[in-house]
Structure 1
Amino acid sequence: MQVIFTKGTQRYGQLRCVRMDGSATQTQMPEQGIAPHDMIHYVVEKRLHIQGAFFSQVRAGADISFALEHNETSRAIADKTEVWQTESIVETLQSLLWSGETPTYDGFIYLLEQACNSRDLAVPTVSQSDFEHILNEIMDLSIEWQGMGEGQSLTLKF
């Protein structure tokens, strides 16, 4: 699946996903000072091979909306625990990146535990190596994203 992030105004960009069968779905995504939330999701889900969260559901046919609009296939692969564990990972990374300081693995694990505990979830295993790869890719994408002008796109594969 192609995942296309398009730079918009200072308030909103656009996320468009084009599946292998040519069908597509899209939504506005809020701009922020770092990589967009959905771009962080992309990196996390791809690196950790998460099969039941956002992008896998979209690839299986779900339409992007405030609450994903599922088809039978995307509903079948959706995994509530993975969805919320993934969201906890993404939120943790966002908070670390927004701080402006260089994120550490220990800081990441501490905040991830807090996020999962607040949702009554088991803490997913994220190795230090995976954390470092995720962080490096997010930083590279953030730099590329920040250098783009309105209407320019970044196309990735999921």
Structure 2
Amino acid sequence: MEIIITKGKNRNTLTCKRKDGTLTSVNLGPDIPNHDIAHYVVEKEFKLENGFYGKIKSGMTIEELSDKEIIRNLGSETWLSEIMTRNLQSIGSGAAKTEQFIELINWEAQNFSGIRVPNMSLTDIENMKSEFDKLCEKWNLIPENGELKLIF
């Protein structure tokens, strides 16, 4: 699946184009798409097939994944993806230290039944943070109407 984040003057757009040619798209508003980039990095690194992008790849729309009623029933891997994404953003912004990532994931995951936290090392986290930082920097350098394209 191709993930395309388009930079607009006052609005950014997230579009996901599946292999069968179908797509789903949403206006992100003026927000920097760091959360969407973090989802990509986490789900790719840990091969999460039922995270945000995995669900889109399987046919769900971005709008469906924004519906609170649907979100409640998505399953433990979707929640794991969200927890890991938020915490990657935290270490990316400096709100948490890289060394704290695994502890934060384990602490937050215990509040949800059925979440199985994958084995991960500090090196895994450092590599993930490095990729996240590189993609965010790449986004910052993209001109208006330019695109960041990712393959999931």
Q: Are 1:92 and 1:115, in contact at CA under 8 Å, matched by a contact in 2?
A: no
Q: CA deviation at 1:15?
A: 0.7
The partner residue of 2:76 within 76, 81, 94 is 81
Q: Are 2:4 and 2:149, in contact at CA under 8 Å, matched by a contact in 1?
A: yes
- Identify if the C-alpha distance between structure 1 residues 7 and 24 changes in structure 2 by more than 3 Å, giving closer, same or farther: same
Q: Are 1:43 and 1:138, in contact at CA under 8 Å, matched by a contact in 2?
A: yes
Q: Cα deviations across residues 55-106 of structure 1 (Å, max 9, x unaligned)? A: 11111111111229x9xxxxxxx951001111111111112222367x42x2
Q: Are 1:113 and 1:123, in contact at CA under 8 Å, matched by a contact in 2?
A: no
Q: Taking every aligned residue pair, what percent have the same amino acid on both sides?
A: 29
The partner residue of 1:135 within 104, 129, 135 is 129
Are 2:38 and 1:40 aligned? yes
Who is 1:74 aligned against? none
- Identify if the C-alpha distance between structure 1 residues 100 and 148 changes in structure 2 by more than 3 Å, giving closer, same or farther: farther
User: Across the two proteins, how many residue pairs are aligned to each other?
Assistant: 145
Q: Secondary structure at the match of 2:103?
A: helix
Matches within 5 A, 1:88-107: 88-99=83-94, 103-104=97-98, 106-107=99-100
Q: Are 2:18 and 2:57, in contact at CA under 8 Å, matched by a contact in 1?
A: yes
Counterpart residue identity of residue 152, structure 1: G
**TM-score after normalising by structure 1:** 0.79
Q: Secondary structure at the match of 1:155?
A: strand
Partner Cα distance (1:94, 1:121) in 2: 23
The partner residue of 1:57 within 52, 55, 69 is 55
Matches within 5 A, 1:22-41: 22-29=21-28, 31-32=31-32, 36-41=34-39
Question: What's the C-alpha RMSD, in Å, of the aligned pairs?
Answer: 2.4
**TM-score after normalising by structure 2:** 0.82
Partner Cα distance (1:18, 1:122) in 2: 29
Partner Cα distance (2:5, 2:144) in 1: 11
Who is 2:106 aligned against? 113
Q: Are 1:85 and 1:121, in contact at CA under 8 Å, matched by a contact in 2?
A: no
Structure 1: 4+ residue segments shifted above 3 A: 117-123
Partner Cα distance (1:142, 1:8) in 2: 16
